[in-house]
Structures are given as structure tokens and as C-alpha cells.
Amino acid sequence: MNGEIIAVGDELTSGRIVNSTSYFAASHLFGAGHTITTMTTVGDEAEVIGRALRKAIDRADFVVLTGGLGSTSDDITSVAASQALNRPQTFYPEIFARIKENKAFKDSPDMAKMAWLPSGAEVLKPDEKMAGFMLVFDEKPIFFLPGVPHQMRELMLDRVIPILATWQENSFHLVHQKIYKIFGADEMEISRRLAHLEKQAKGIRIGYYPMAAEVHVSLTVRTDSCKQTRRLFMDYEKALKSALDDLIYGEDDASMASVTGALLADRGFHLALAESCTGGLMANMVTSVPGSSAYFQGGVVAYANLVKEQLLGVSTATLENFGAVSEETAREMALGACRATNAEIGVATSGIAGPDGGTADKPVGTVCFGLATPTGTIQQTHHFSGKRPMVQAKAATMGLDLVRRYLLGLLTPPSPS
């Protein structure tokens, strides 16, 4: 089925809030076999909401509208829908009864407005304390979901997608999609490697999505046959992985930190970090993964040379002879982090994130890495483009990627001379 998504809210049209709900809805609807032809964002104006809704209904088989279902004065989606579709506002006593059970009702009697919905509305989760309803208009399902992300996601997965699956069972194709997470090559290089796969067969689509320090590549196969979809997907996935090889670090919901953490846990190793230019960003990435305490010992943000010396044991001679931004310093920082935390593996970053501080020999974007392992140390220098946040993001991701590659046997410390 062809669908449209409408996101409502002045906070979206003003740029104050990122529209994550439309992204979530589109990706999951697409994965369920539907095509999203248009995504629209409108402000909190009844006439504008109504006009967008009517246009979407005229063009699509179904519509998902998010936002504007709350109790404040700017939550006008329900009223706008009533006016646009000529469905008078109707009082739903069962909704009002649930609202009165909410402790906040005594302080916010305006919450009662949430019990007024367009006539014919079907509450999506009548036993839950969240807004969300469906209307059928011109034999098309129209879903009205809250703008609160976790509530919208719950209704999308538990109600919207199952309802659509039974609405017109034979109206959509079978779809198989996977996202491949890539680090170490830009979008142009990845596109060059995959050029021979594009447009080889009908129903195959490859998408490229730069995401901060990474590039995400989607492979989508859409056919009329489950068997054909599975066969085509397996063939193209094999070719895609062959073309990109070890640039792919993970798939779908995986992150560099989760993949690296899983390898550490599997090998029984513990990680320590020593960060200068990344300012704790690596540690933030690592600890964002649930269960990271099983393999992460701790880290030091060592900006000043004094901290590098006193907490990490970097020698004064190394700093004087090679400078803070050097492979020699990064190596000693990584070793110091291991000593301080009893970790088997240590990673260190020291660089120039910008916009100032660069020199002819060490321009902005220069980052030195040290990797201490049970089998030796590895030092590398990389040059990253972009503004300060991008340089830091790339450097932090690179630091974890060094650990990943070492654990996979893709990176080996040099043999002692």
C-alpha cells in the first residue's frame, strides 16, 4: 500500500526538535512492505493541518499523522481533523474516565479536551494512558498518533502495522531490507565499489546515508514472491559484502561501540581509554551500550600535559621531543591507561580537533592513536576533515575501530626487531 506521513508541530517546523517520529514510521512501514510516497511537516495551524490531511487522503491508501494530540492550547490535531473531514467532535466518556485517573488531572483540567475526538474514531489502545486513534475515511485508514516518541513507536509497532497487514492483504509486495554500517570510506568510494550492483535487476535498491563519522548503506529487495525476494537478497548481500569487505563493521541496529564491546566480552578482554582531543567521547560511546561494565574498566581525559604525565605516566622526554600530538605520546597514554586500570587493551587519542592549533606539520584534523594490546602496541596517525565535532566523532569511532580490527585479526602489532 502507498502511504503518507504527516508530522505536526511548531517545534518541528522551527527546527527546535528533530523529526525522529517520521523517520521511525517510514522505516518500519517500508520494512512491512509499504511505500511511503510523501512525508510532510506542518505547524500547529488547524487550516494547514486539514489541508495537508485532505491532500494525503486523496493521494494515498493510508495516512499516518503524528503530533498535536495533547492537552495544551497548541494541540489542535483532533479539531483540525474534525473540521477537514466533517467529523464533529464527539465526547468519549471511557477516555475521560481514564484521564480522571491521572494524578495530573487535578492540576490540569484542560486534559479533558483529550476525550473529544472526531466522530467514528477508534482508540488504538483503550487500556493504555496514551493518545492515539484511527479513523476510516473514504475506506482508507487514517492513524493519529502522539508526537511523544516512545508512545508513537509503541502504537506504530503494536497497532498500525498489524492493522495495515490485514487491511489489504494482497496489495503490497514482499520486502527484505538490511542496513550495513560502514566506517573507513566516504560515500563516493562506497558508491564506486557498488556501482556494478545498481540497476542490475528490477526491485533492487541500494541507498547511501552519511551518518556523522559513518556511512550507512541500505539494501532493499522488493518482489511479488517470498522465495524470489529471499533468493535475490541473498545473492545481492553476498556481492555487497564482497565489494565492501571489512569496511562493514555491523548491521541494522549495531553500533561501533556495541560491536567492539561484544568482541571484547567474547575474548574476555577489558578496555581502558586515554583521551585528549576526543574529550571523553569514546567513553561515552562505550558506556552507552548496556552491559558495558563487563568489559570497560574506565578512562582518563588527559588534556593537559601534566595530566598525561601524572595520571598516565607519559614521560617528560616524550612530550618534549615529540609533542603531545604524536604517536609516541599516544602509545604511552594507551599503556598508561592499561596500567592504571588493569585492562588488557588500551586506546589513546591525541590530536588537533580545531578550528585553531594546527601547524604545517600537524594541520587541524591530525589525530594520533595508540593501541596497547597483550601482543604489542600499534601507533597510527590519521587526518580527518570537517569541523571540530566531526573530527572528534571520526577520531572516537576510529579508536574503537582499531580495537575491533585487532580483535578480528585484521590489525597486528609489529614484531619486535
- Edge-to-edge strand list for the sheet holding 296-301: 296-301, 271-275, 345-351, 366-373, 376-383
Asked whether residue 126 carries a pLDDT value surpassing 90, the answer given is no
Query: Which of 167, 190, 213 is where one domain is finished?
Result: 167
Render pLDDT for 101-110 as a digit per residue (tens, 0 to 9): 765 555 455 6
CATH number, domain with residue 233: 3.30.70.2860
Question: Where a domain ends, among 206, 232, 251?
Answer: 251
Q: Are residues 120 and 37 in the same domain?
A: yes
- What local confidence, expressed as pLDDT, does residue 117 receive? 93
* Domain count of the fold of the chain: 3
- How large is the average pLDDT for residues 117-122? 93
CA nearest to 42, candidates 21, 62, 14: 14
Question: What's the pLDDT score for residue 72?
Answer: 84
Quote the domain boundaries for residue 334: 256-407
Q: Are residues 20 and 93 in the same domain?
A: yes
Q: For residue 417, what pLDDT is reported?
A: 42
Enter the pTM of the model: 0.76
Grid coordinates given for 68: 498535536
Q: Is 26 exposed, middle or buried (0-12, 13-18, 19+ CB in 10 A)?
A: middle
User: Could you read off the pLDDT of 75-84 as tens digits, one per residue?
Assistant: 899 999 999 9
264 plus 335 within the same structural domain: yes
- What is the DSSP annotation of 260-325? HHHHHHHHT--EEEEESTTTTHHHHHHHTSTTGGGTEEEEEE--SHHHHHHHH---HHHHHHH-SS
Angle between helices 46-59 and 77-85 in degrees, nearest 10: 60
What pLDDT sits at residue 95? 85
Q: Examine the domain organization and report whether 243 and 261 are in the same domain.
A: no
What secondary structure does DSSP assign to 208-231, as a single string? EEEETTEEEEEEEEEES-HHHHHH
Q: Is residue 206 part of a domain?
A: yes
- Could you report the per-residue pLDDT of 290-322, keeping only the tens digit for each? 999 999 999 999 999 999 999 999 999 999 999
Q: What is the pLDDT of residues 352-378, one digit of tens each?
A: 999 999 999 999 999 999 999 999 999
d(CA 391, CA 287): 20
Helices 388-407/256-267 angle, 10° precision = 30
Same domain, 233 and 314: no
Residue 172: pLDDT band by 50, 70, 90 thresholds?
A: very low
Mark residue 135 as left, alpha or beta (left: phi above 0; alpha: psi -120 to 50; beta: remaining): beta
Task: Give the model confidence (pLDDT) of 82-105 as tens digits.
Answer: 999 999 999 988 888 877 776 555
